[in-house]
Amino acid sequence: MLILISSLLLFSTALVLMILRMMPTNARTAWLVAVGGGMLTLVSVFAWLTQMPFEFALPAWQPQALFVNPILFRADEISFPFALSISALTLAILLTAVARSALTNSFTWAGVLALGGLGLLAMTANNPFTLVLVWAALDITELLAQLRSVEGSAQNEKVVISFSTRVFGIGLLLWANIVSLASGSAFNFQSISPNAGLYLIAAAGLRLGVLPLHLPYSDESTLRRGFGTSFRLISAASSLVLLAHVPAGSLVSGLTPFMLVLAVIAALYSGWMWLRAPDELTGRPYWVIDLAALSVISALSGNSLGAVAWGCALILVGGSLFLSSIQHVWLNRVLLLGAWSLSSLPFSLTAGAWLGALGFFSPFVIVAQALLIAGFIRHALRPAGRDSLEDQPIWMRTMYLSGIVLLVAFQFLLGFIGWNGALQVGAWFHALAASLLTAGLVWATPRLHVLNPIRAHWVGSAASGVNNIYQNLWAVYRVLEGISQTIINTLEGESGIMWTLLFLILFISYLAQGTP
């Protein structure tokens, strides 16, 4: 029941904000209501620790012969760190909203709260049927938001293609369900069939843009720091949680090395683009793909807890960076603590990320991780292009700084308590090598032209280059669609009867040739 309480707190707060929007109330009152709902949700998630693990199931849908699996939620060592990260991110967005006057309205805050509620449901979904429903809600919400924020048929087409890849990921998850049921498994995430494991990885990898490498959504458009950060990170985390349920027994397959190669390529490419992005928001798609690729690599190496660690780092470390729109020397230094969370050093958030067997791929993974950390350090220290809070009231400055510090504090908290990945020494040699390479990249970045940031439109060109193959496939589809439509129009037109008779005569003649 605690799972439902935490989600309902966010949904009900969003509903209250929409009601307040129709009333002549002060904007500060609405903000206080939003922050209050976020704080209560964070406290309720902490209360999960008193009862974990526990489940909550809704009544089965009818007919039961068709809906074999009920809507089922579970709070355990996998869902708790994700849920805590999403709750902290939601509260941090609301606290830092005081610094974004252009977006300080109850409609945006209600959207952030509703996304947080959907995120909690996704993190605790305990079977594919439940997760598919949450994925569908997130995908439809993103489709509507993107269609409203872009202009032109070309951009609309990109949004639809992006939505199609996510729908295909849902199809792979449903196919995994069918495979598991065919093997006699009840199919929740504790009794998963080994035959369905690779399908789960493929479904998550496709939705995240890793298998194969592609940008799973269109350009950022108007979705930027507050609502945009919530959407991008929660949507990615809803797919990453699936990787944490993949059983190690399902990885004994000839496809596993091939998928590892694709994931490593995605990690290296996205890490390179992240390091050279002109600013953190332009590089945000590559941040998501890089963390997702590292999660896929961890899952394929037999370490499901590593996927949880990278997923929480995506939310907490990425959230603290993407919400930092204010130039503040002390705050920049606090942000740098996120580099330790990404380093996999002992007792860090990602200390247990590389406990699996990487073998031949270890050097490439070390390079990808170093590119990720070096890019984070460069963006955290970026001095230009940020606003100032010097002229704002002290309460506003306090709330903004509290939101950023909250996310940094939770990075350390999850490194020590709350789940099976806490208090891990981990693969310290791997972490030390990645840290040394990171130091070298940070030193070389201002000295080597090849490591310097590139212009924003070049980042967009590179993204278009990655997606060219999918655009070409889409063009082939349009050509085939045109040919099919021409044939249909011909058969359905005035001469349709004559063409039908001609085909009938040819068919009878063909059969007559085979008659003795």
From CA 458, how far away is CA 241, in angstroms rounded?
32
Residues 149-184 have pLDDT tens digits of 777 776 777 777 778 888 888 998 988 888 887 777
From CA 242, how far away is CA 97, in angstroms rounded?
31
Reported as a pLDDT band with limits 50, 70 and 90, residue 187 is low
Q: What is the mean pLDDT of the chain?
A: 82
Beta bridge partners of 387: 326
Question: Residue type for 366, please?
Answer: I
pLDDT at 218: 53
Question: Residue type for 9, please?
Answer: L
From CA 414, how far away is CA 405, in angstroms rounded?
14
pLDDT at 240: 93
- Ranges of beta strands (E only) in 419-509 are none
Contact 289, 467 (CB under 8 A): no
pLDDT at 102: 47
DSSP-H helix ranges across 150-213: 153-182, 197-208
Q: Which residues of 187-221 are buried (b: 16+ CB within 10 A; e: fewer)?
A: bbbeebbbbbbbbbbbbbbbbbbbbebbbbbbbbb
Residues 434-488 have pLDDT tens digits of 999 999 999 988 877 777 766 554 555 554 555 555 555 556 556 655 666 666 5
Alpha-carbon dihedral angle through residues 191, 305, 302, 171, given to the nearest 10 degrees: 60
pLDDT at 190: 81
* Residue closest to 256 by CA, chosen among 310, 293, 297: 297
Residue with tokens 């806490």: 422
How many angstroms separate the most distant Cα atoms in the chain? 99
- Name which of 24-28, 186-190, 292-296, 370-374 the model is least confident about: 24-28
From CA 303, how far away is CA 273, in angstroms rounded?
26
Return the percent helix, strand and coil in the chain, to nearest 5.
70, 0, 25
Residue with tokens 């030390």: 432
pLDDT at 278: 85
From CA 362, how far away is CA 350, in angstroms rounded?
16
* Residue closest to 314 by CA, chosen among 390, 229, 245: 229
Which sequence spans correspond to the domains of the chain? 2-466, 467-516
- Name which of 145-149, 158-162, 185-189 the model is least confident about: 185-189
From CA 48, how far away is CA 96, in angstroms rounded?
26
From CA 24, how far away is CA 408, in angstroms rounded?
37
From CA 220, how far away is CA 285, in angstroms rounded?
9
The distance from CA 492 to its chain's CA centroid, rounded to whole angstroms, is 46
Q: Say yes or no to pLDDT of 290 above 70.
A: yes
Q: pTM, whole model, 2 decimals?
A: 0.86
From CA 213, how far away is CA 267, in angstroms rounded?
9
pLDDT at 413: 93
pLDDT at 311: 94
Beta bridge partners of 333: none
The CA-atom distances, in angstroms, between 514 and each of 503, 507, 510 are: 17, 12, 7
Reported as a pLDDT band with limits 50, 70 and 90, residue 114 is very high
Q: Phi and psi for 56 in degrees, rounded to 5?
A: -145, 125
Stretch 346-355: mean pLDDT: 90
